[in-house]
Amino acid sequence: MNLLGNIWDHPRTSAAGLLIGIVTIAGVLSQQGITLGNVGTGTAVSLIGAIAAALLGLLAKDPGGLANEQGSKPTGMQGKLGVWALIALLMPLPFLGGCSGTTVARNIVDWIPALESAVASVDSAGAMLSPADAPEYEAATAGFDAAAGLLIAQAKAYLANPSAGTLAQMQVQVVVLQQQVNTAMLQAARIVNPASQQHALAAIQAVGTVVMAMLALVQSVSSKSAVAQMASASAVKMSEVLPLVNPRRAAEVVAAHYDEPVVLAQMQIAQVERVEIGAGF
């Protein structure tokens, strides 16, 4: 910390220089297909975590430390956003946490209560819609209970036995539910009544956010060929649905689950969305 403190105080090596330097290096590595979070056996993760923690501590010491050479200083909140952006860029996503099948399986199972709650909210949201809109909404979401139930059962089976067979079943089922959600979002967007449409989209999106996290986790332990097969089964692409999504609501779900700032969750979700679209989902 003394070394970092000296660097912080040095006029030629400000926090801005540290941030820019690290982000630049990470960007170059990313362009080359190298992600820092996958280097070694956790060494890079530990190092980056230490750097991030140190920078956060230094930021608390001097919130205006991201000053530029002309002497203008951002606000404390802008400085914090800069550091959170750095962390989001360098640190592994919680969606993709863990290298082993068992660790990922536990992460998937940990999402089950949120999935159950979101599906229950979908079931009850029909009562908040206008009588004319409720039947279309109920038809669009009719398969959620069954598909979610199968995914939950297969996630538990994978945790108990993280084998190729149980993983294959989960790969199929997570895409089935993801496609149901995407299709339902497009159908809900056709609801004319603004209040009904808002309620419908919000309820369906809550399920979609959880499914996106589970999908990313499943992908993290799947082979490239398996991911390609999963993507080929995705008829309704994520890019079609994203314009209907409320990013803030999605981030609040992730932030609450991982006990992290909403702004960090927003960055993580944006990164996952880019990965999913790039993979063909």
124 with 45, same domain: the answer is: no
Q: Tell me what the mean pLDDT of segment 193-205 comes to.
A: 96
For residue 76, the model assigns a pLDDT of 52
Q: Is 127 exposed, middle or buried (0-12, 13-18, 19+ CB in 10 A)?
A: exposed
pLDDT band at 66 (very low <50, low <70, confident <90, very high): very low
Q: Token pair of 263, please?
A: 């702004």
For residue 102, the model assigns a pLDDT of 81
Range of the domain at 118: 101-279
CA dihedral over 193, 247, 272, 265, signed as positive or negative: negative
Residue where one domain finishes, among candidates 66, 92, 118? 92
For residue 99, the model assigns a pLDDT of 53
pLDDT at 48 over 60: no
Distance CA 131, CA 21 (A): 58
234 with 150, same domain: the answer is: yes
147 with 235, same domain: the answer is: yes
For residue 267, the model assigns a pLDDT of 87
Name the residue with higher pLDDT: 54 or 207. Answer: 207
Residue where one domain finishes, among candidates 36, 64, 92? 92
73 with 7, same domain: the answer is: yes
**Number of structural domains in the chain:** 2
pLDDT band at 103 (very low <50, low <70, confident <90, very high): confident
Residue where one domain finishes, among candidates 71, 92, 113? 92
**Model-level pTM?**
0.71
Q: Is 191 left (phi over 0), alpha (psi -120 to 50) or beta?
A: beta
pLDDT tens for each residue of 112-146: 999 999 999 999 999 999 999 999 999 999 999 99
37 with 118, same domain: the answer is: no
pLDDT at 74 over 60: no
Percent of the chain at pLDDT exceeding 90: 57
Q: Token pair of 106, please?
A: 């536990």
pLDDT tens for each residue of 207-253: 999 999 999 999 989 999 999 999 999 999 999 999 999 999 999 99
238 with 108, same domain: the answer is: yes
pLDDT at 172 over 80: yes
pLDDT band at 3 (very low <50, low <70, confident <90, very high): very low
